[in-house]
Structure 1
Amino acid sequence: MTPLEDLLQQCTVKITVPGAWEKERGTGFFVAPGLILTCAHVVRKSADLQVTVSYLGCQQPLSAIVKAKADDGKTLDLALVKLSESPFDHPCVLLDEEPVAIGQTLYSYGYLESYTNATPVRPVNEGLTGDTPPLLKLQGAQIEKGISGAALLDLKTGKVCGMVKETRAAGFDLGGGAIPTRVILEQFPELRALQRKFHEGDRRWVNLTTTSMAGKPESATSLITIPQERAELYQFLLNLPGSQFDAVLFALNPPRGNIPPSTAPQGQRVPELLNWLESAIGPGLEALRLSLSKTLNPR
């Protein structure tokens, strides 16, 4: 276990719903002092928004209340849980909005139904789904009931890139889906200031991230050369795998309705993307080059 993986475990909690749903459990993680992020479906059946939080090192469960939700019953599945009191000093994860590289190994830690205690899983990112908002599609790990709400650590950046939401098939190593950090921060923008304030004062995570990245060679930009001219960019985008094209779109975040949906042929989506980029409201082709570089040549 790396120091960052250990620190992530220290940020992780088990969430249960008191009463008739006591056997139901999910996972959550600290994003600010006394403030926990989890999935809305984990706390959906709570009466009066009351839940119980169990934290490693605390002998007694802690009472908490659901403070906010962003829940469409589909891919938007977020909840913030606030401890009634926070009698201990705990770390908080470091959230990262940058796109996750295709094929990147990730680390998560939560309360899977098959295990008494929390356990790690190591899925691989396959790219973004075509949903609105999209999910990170995960493969190669046994993601099952109970780990919903667990933080997803990008082992390349050392930061949390999302939150586990669902399984593809419980009991099999078929992976699942996760909510990207960017979606989380779009729904709960107040977390940006809370994160900044916490990590300015508590350097545990930041220092480990700096240490883990020290000495690693920077990715050579020649691995994948990003074209400069519009015509070359057009052809380059046409030839991108669909999952990578969606990752680039996700990073650029064009207003809804400007780009055809993922069900449309890529030959229709590419020219509309370029038209939007070069329009009066678009960020320009340089933003596209930067997004391509970050997505295809992550450091």
Structure 2
Amino acid sequence: MTKDRPAPPLPERLDSLVDAHTHLDACGASDAASVTAILDRAESVGVGRVVTVADDLEAARFAVNAAHWDSRVWAATAIHPTRANVLTDDVKAEIEALSSDPRVVAVGETGLDYYWPGKLDGCASVSEQHDGFRWHIDLAKRLQKPLMIHNREADDDLLAVLRAEGAPETVIFHCFSSGPDMARACIDAGYVLSLSGTVSFKNAHALREAAALIPDDQLLVETDAPFLTPHPFRGAPNEPYCLPYTARALAAIRDRDPVELAAKVTANAERVYALTAVQVAGPE
């Protein structure tokens, strides 16, 4: 994402959609008014609800607050694998408390990231990531909430940890970016695959092949905003209102009517995150 590129224009409205994974704080939200502004913009094009996701403790606190500020927002809370080296007992206790909030619909994002160790100062080691991932798996099972996965260049090890630890009932691979072999392995395991703007990239041949394989009932769509803005706006700032661009690109790949696909992925999000079972809270 580059700040010198203008934000994409509002897409043609596509009802109805749930942004299954976004980062409202990284989109610039800091208080109730700014969260509402982002959601109003999204709702104007048919994106009526979002799950805002944490990658560190501060973001987890924000996500829970945002979900109480605006009833269109739900939260997912965890420590990102690259930051797993901060998981002290105190941090674990606070993440567990935050994750227990009724507005939190998933434990995430957690998982394994083999790209950044050795490249990013302070990045958690592979060993620390494995420890943190196992702790989050246990937390999701104890809270009986879905586990939201971050996976970067760690396909085989990530699946091995899930098998060894015993996966929670619901596992969501956020921003699924692997090829058809990994897709088949996840599909066979019953995992849910959430696709972002990367599926619209013209050079994402393996991912586009994988996207065509996913059963309707195991599919979500997301922005991962402010990152991964869909084609033809790649590199511009992303926001939940951009989700219809990705949904339409995915519909074309799967040879589906976009309205039908939107209805299906929305029903999946409601089921996977139990959105209809979560009590709506008004602003504090």
TM (norm. structure 2) is 0.26
Name the structure where helix makes up a greater proportion of residues. 2
Q: Which has the larger radius of gyration?
A: 1
Looking at secondary structure, tell me which structure has more strand per residue.
1
* TM-score of the aligned structures, taking structure 1 as reference length: 0.25
